[in-house]
Structure 1
Amino acid sequence: MTRDLRNVRHQPAPDAPTPLSAEEEARYRNLLFTELGNKIADDGWARYPAHTPEERRRLIEVAARLTAHWGQQVFIEPEDQTRFRLCLAGHQTLPS
């Protein structure tokens, strides 16, 4: 028996995250821009989890947007395998 395999789609694993729509992605990046921007403005630095390559790309894009918005470099550096640190110059060493 031959099966018709047209319109077959790859299904993610049950526990895998589903991709965000373009609108959801834009809203999430705007939220990160606001929340991380406020934290960095208050403390000079912020840390945020980034477990996947997509989450890392979001944080890199947010750091670039903050740099353009403020006119000063927002540095981004991995703290470990799951967290990134965004900071302004002078706050590049870990707080005690």
Structure 2
Amino acid sequence: MLSELDRYLSKGTEKGVEDPLAWWHDHCGEYPRLWHMAHDYLTIPATSVAVECAWTKQKLVKNSDLFKATRLPEVKEDDETLVEYDYPIV
């Protein structure tokens, strides 16, 4: 019996998919574990420097806070937090 990941990878790509989140929603019964991971990844909000600039211009961000944010320590791969799921993919 193939795992969800093997079944998904053997299916190949579909042409004309414009909304990946909608595609995963349509296939959540077929790939429930992968759907949860895709949902977590695809629903991460996008941010941009433009928002930070707008907040700074409106005095919603203190200059000292902005300085601290640009001076964050470098994160090493071993220190990164990984999402754990209660069930194996394979």
TM-score by length of 2: 0.27
- Name the TM-score, length of structure 1 as normaliser: 0.26
Which structure's residues are more often strand, by fraction?
A: 1
Decide which structure has the larger Cα Rg and report it.
2
Q: Which has the higher contact order (CA 8 A, sep 6+)?
A: 2
